[in-house]
A and B are shown apart, each in its own frame.
Chain A
Amino acid sequence: MQASDKFDVIVIGGGHAGTEAALASARMGCATMLLTHNIETLGQMSCNPSIGGIGKGHLVKEVDALDGAMAAATDEGGIQFRILNSSKGPAVRATRAQADRLLYKQAIRTRLENQENLWLFQQAVDDLILEGGGVAGVVTQTGLRFYARSVVLTAGTFLSGLVHVGQSSYQAGRAGDPPAISLAKRLRELALPAGRLKTGTPPRIDGRTVDYSVMQQQWGDDPAPVFSFLGKAVQHPRQLPCWVTETNAHTHDIIRGGLDRSPMFTGIIEGVGPRYCPSIEDKITRFADKSSHQIFLEPEGLHTNELYPNGISTSLPFDVQMNLVRSIRGLENAHILRPGYAIEYDYYDPRALKRSLETKAIPGLFFAGQINGTTGYEEAAAQGLLAGINAALHAQEKESWTPGRNEAYLGVMVDDLTARGVTEPYRMFTSRAEYRLQLREDNADMRLTEIGHKLGVVGEVRWRAFEEKREAVVREEQRLKATWVNPNVLAEADALRVLGKTIEREYSLYDLLRRPDVTYDGLMTLPGMAQETATEVAQQVEISAKYQGYIDRQNSEIEQQAAYESMALPATLDYKAVRALSIEAQQKLNQHKPETIGHASRISGITPADIALLLVHLKRGGRTKAMEANDAA
């Protein structure tokens, strides 16, 4: 068991946020305790059995670049790997995998159990110990007390979770797990601003009762890509296909017939659900003219028959669920293993957090994951990692770290959350990132691994691999810049084949690579130009050559913004004292207490004119009306 009851960092919760937080804090050398109500569910994928996708895959790569577990665990547990958007450009290209729930969970568990400085303990947490306004530890359900300098809370949907199926509802953390009622009550007493959100899952189906012969089969990419920068395809277990079918007019009639008993449509559910992940009853109501909706049957694992029918998330009564499932082609005889349900849960307004994910109200207390109003394993893992890093830094009495919007999707997410809050469960999309062209999956390591190493969260194995890759990229770039192609030597046929036209003067290979239609692989087929280079190195060289112009332009945009980002707004500033500021702006700013001018500019309802007034106020030295009155007197 644990060495004592004193730790540097305590993490509450063993989901994707909690496990990454605990692992990160322990990697940074902090004595860390992970408390979970059930060790068996550590690293559990409680919704769909897939990891990654567009925007989400980007987050997973960033977690990996900081030596987190998610990508590596997916490489070990993934049963189908695909690259999405491969033809639309490197910035929106993203990796996604179907994962075997058990293998994935096992991969996470193994990492947790073997992590130095990390202790696991099975106990639900009922209370926080507060001392001198800051957090000092936690109290478990049996009254055990554990002390730490930092506490990371990753309670997911467990805070006052309420599961709905039809008109009936019961309290739960997720179907099958108890909710955290006492802790939720305690947190409510602390008067942190809270709200209610909703999410849902589809009924699960027994694969033995499915007629696959009438469905379309969908395999992963061949060769299968890997998720982790350190991953190898040989780590992947046996691969499986997904199956595609769709709803029909009859299905929609069944659903419409059940709406009068839907907790969503009869107003029982108050929490706000996501626009991008609507229940099937939502979809047929909002898009009534669509006669069918696709359904992807995703395997839950290699050693189970359970299928996850992606596309029919529902909280309709069970008899309606049964009929709607059986109206679908190939599912006429389907047996439902678990009913679909909606779950409502508490979340805390993330505008009450600093960008380090520390609560503004209680020093040392960090929040990460779904509790902050996000949805998705990837969003949770990325926040967990960041909270773990900052909890460790806090315990070590060091300055916190948060990447900027131009450095990582993680930075975009945390800035969005803390500046704008949420109105629905927050999910990552690439369109949220204004500097999308530089926040790519392929360069997540280039963006983050070095800073991660400095912070102490990136271990030596990854650091050495990264340094090697980075040096290889620099070497190859230098070679391309120093290798010249002479028009007199280049055969016309080669020029037309590789460049599309002949050249009129000497060019370096690097210059040629910058042309839109010229590829690295093509250039290497020119006589005498080839050199053995790792694929990921060649890819890095090629993308940075082609995107340099755009990235330079974005950098100048970033520089303009940077001045605002570094202009600090004192936490003590009373915005009522800012001259000419509208009452609405005063209230919003007083409520959010933004950390910088840049942060303030992204608060919804704050206009460029308000920002100008703030700048004037800062220039005048933040003088208050009272001081002016004194001067006048």
Chain B
Amino acid sequence: MRSMSGDFSRSIERMVRKIIELRAFVEATLDFPEEEGVVVVDERCLAKQLVAIRTDLQHISSLAKQGNILREGAQVVLLGAPNAGKSSLLNLLAGEEVALVSDIPGTTRDTLRQVLQIDGVPLHLIDTAGIRETDDILEQMGIARTRRSLEQADVVILLVDESNPVHIDYHALMDGAPRSVLIAHNKIDLASKPAGVRNEDGVDHIFLSVKTGDGVTDLKKSILAAVGWHREEGVFMARARHLDAIGQAIYHLSDAEQHIAQLELFAESLRLAQNSLNQITGEFVPDDLLGEIFGKFCIGK
């Protein structure tokens, strides 16, 4: 695995070079229309180069996302009815006793955080107080925190007591946020159901027993898939702001594709795409671009 940030910078610099080369052609066409030395760019050639750059950048983005997961990890929130076994699951995944476990519903009053690794991916697992109406002030405070944790979650695991299903409207809690949801059906040993994974409407339902350990491997796999981890060669260690910058660049390149026939708008989108990547590589000034143009073309009557 490539983990050096130097590799990442170098690939971004390569993409910036390619954008600069393309810009040199476009800007030369705009600033020196009468120079015979300037190769007139045709639209098909522009489109081809543009798509090549965008595709490469998308690949880098994907590698960087993996690296970002390895670097930053993911926030996983455990949610479920009181006594569904959230703390037990947390302990099982973490391999140690971190949460106070008892049979009395509502024992976990605080959100508990545990950092653990599955397949090398760091996960910030957050055990929450159960969601239910309560008069207990302490528990109410816990529930307020639960809602806050949810706002930051990448993945939410809903833990359901398969032996004693209680209807809770979780959908209200899921509102809008771009996160994955897994539904873990616990205590299949008591409900006499087999372990396994079923996908319904794009949501994984994992049947397991924390007590016997059946189905826990399936849950781990589902968690990794949900955080977006898929082992890939040559992962880049990148920061979240780098990912944002690449995303912006891809957006501007797609925009450029819409404007191939309007050269000055095409040029503007390329400029913005390069600006986005410059947030990673550092500053670039118009004079450098002119240097590129004068190096390439014989300009000057």
Which residues from chain A sit less than 8 Å from chain B, CB to CB?
54-55, 84-85, 88-92, 274-278, 283, 286-287, 290, 293-296, 310-311, 416, 420, 429-434, 436-437, 516, 550, 601-602, 604, 607-608
Complex Cα–Cα for A310 and B262 (A):
30
Using known A-B contacts A437-B264, A550-B268, determine if residue A431 contacts B36 with beta carbons closer than 8 Å. Answer: no
Instruction: Check: B137 CB closer than 8 A to any chain A CB.
Output: no
Number of interface residues of B (CB under 8 A): 30
Determine whether the beta carbon of A311 is less than 8 Å from that of B301. yes
**Looking at chain A's contact residues, is the secondary structure mostly helix, strand, loop, or mixed?**
loop
Q: List, in ascending order, chain A residues with CB within 8 A of B240's CB.
A: none
Using known A-B contacts A54-B30, A431-B286, A608-B282, determine if residue A436 contacts B268 with beta carbons closer than 8 Å. Answer: yes
**Looking at chain B's contact residues, is the secondary structure mostly helix, strand, loop, or mixed?**
helix
Complex Cα–Cα for A607 and B262 (A):
33
Determine whether the beta carbon of B285 is less than 8 Å from that of A607. no
Using known A-B contacts A88-B264, A92-B264, determine if residue A608 contacts B298 with beta carbons closer than 8 Å. Answer: no
Determine whether the beta carbon of A431 is less than 8 Å from that of B37. no
24 contacts between A and B (CB under 8 A): A54-B33, A88-B29, A89-B264, A275-B294, A275-B299, A283-B298, A293-B37, A294-B36, A294-B301, A295-B301, A296-B301, A311-B300, A420-B285, A420-B287, A429-B31, A429-B290, A431-B30, A431-B31, A431-B289, A436-B267, A436-B268, A437-B264, A550-B265, A607-B283
Determine whether the beta carbon of A54 is less than 8 Å from that of B31. yes
B271 — nearest CB in chain A belongs to which residue?
A: A434
Complex Cα–Cα for A287 and B296 (A):
9
Determine whether the beta carbon of A290 is less than 8 Å from that of B298. yes
A298 — nearest CB in chain B belongs to which residue?
A: B301
Q: List, in ascending order, chain B residues with CB within 8 A of A290's CB.
A: 37, 298
Instruction: Check: B7 CB closer than 8 A to any chain A CB.
Output: no
The minimal Cβ–Cβ distance linking B26 to chain A, given in whole angstroms, is 9
5 nearest CB pairs, A to B = A89-B264, A275-B294, A287-B298, A311-B301, A431-B27
Complex Cα–Cα for A315 and B301 (A):
15
Contact of B301 among A84, A274, A310, A436 (CB under 8 A): A310
Which residues from chain B sit less than 8 Å from chain A, CB to CB?
27, 29-34, 36-37, 262-265, 267-268, 271, 282-283, 285-287, 289-291, 293-294, 298-301
Determine whether the beta carbon of B285 is less than 8 Å from that of A604. yes
Determine whether the beta carbon of B283 is less than 8 Å from that of A89. no
Determine whether the beta carbon of A88 is less than 8 Å from that of B268. no
Determine whether the beta carbon of A286 is less than 8 Å from that of B283. no
The minimal Cβ–Cβ distance linking A409 to chain B, given in whole angstroms, is 12
Q: List, in ascending order, chain B residues with CB within 8 A of A277's CB.
A: 300-301
Complex Cα–Cα for A432 and B271 (A):
12
A605 — nearest CB in chain B belongs to which residue?
A: B283
Complex Cα–Cα for A434 and B271 (A):
8
Q: List, in ascending order, chain B residues with CB within 8 A of A432's CB.
A: 286-287, 290
Known contacts A92-B31, A434-B271; 16 additional CB pairs below 8 A are: A54-B32, A55-B31, A84-B33, A84-B34, A88-B263, A89-B263, A89-B265, A278-B298, A295-B301, A296-B301, A310-B301, A311-B301, A430-B30, A431-B293, A432-B286, A607-B283
Complex Cα–Cα for A437 and B265 (A):
8
Q: List, in ascending order, chain B residues with CB within 8 A of A294's CB.
A: 36, 301
Determine whether the beta carbon of A293 is less than 8 Å from that of B294. no
Complex Cα–Cα for A429 and B289 (A):
11
Complex Cα–Cα for A310 and B36 (A):
13
Determine whether the beta carbon of B300 is less than 8 Å from that of A436. no
Complex Cα–Cα for A144 and B16 (A):
59
A602 — nearest CB in chain B belongs to which residue?
A: B285
Contact of A88 among B33, B290, B301 (CB under 8 A): B33
The minimal Cβ–Cβ distance linking B239 to chain A, given in whole angstroms, is 15
B35 — nearest CB in chain A belongs to which residue?
A: A294
Complex Cα–Cα for A296 and B301 (A):
8
The minimal Cβ–Cβ distance linking A205 to chain B, given in whole angstroms, is 15
Q: List, in ascending order, chain A residues with CB within 8 A of B29's CB.
A: 88
Complex Cα–Cα for A421 and B267 (A):
26
Q: List, in ascending order, chain A residues with CB within 8 A of B271's CB.
A: 434
Determine whether the beta carbon of B300 is less than 8 Å from that of A283. yes
B269 — nearest CB in chain A belongs to which residue?
A: A550
The minimal Cβ–Cβ distance linking B273 to chain A, given in whole angstroms, is 13
Q: List, in ascending order, chain B residues with CB within 8 A of A293's CB.
A: 36-37, 298
Q: List, in ascending order, chain A residues with CB within 8 A of B294's CB.
A: 275-276
Determine whether the beta carbon of A286 is less than 8 Å from that of B31. no
The minimal Cβ–Cβ distance linking B280 to chain A, given in whole angstroms, is 11
B291 — nearest CB in chain A belongs to which residue?
A: A275
Determine whether the beta carbon of A608 is less than 8 Å from that of B283. yes
Complex Cα–Cα for A275 and B296 (A):
11
The minimal Cβ–Cβ distance linking A46 to chain B, given in whole angstroms, is 17
The minimal Cβ–Cβ distance linking A23 to chain B, given in whole angstroms, is 30
Determine whether the beta carbon of A434 is less than 8 Å from that of B262. no
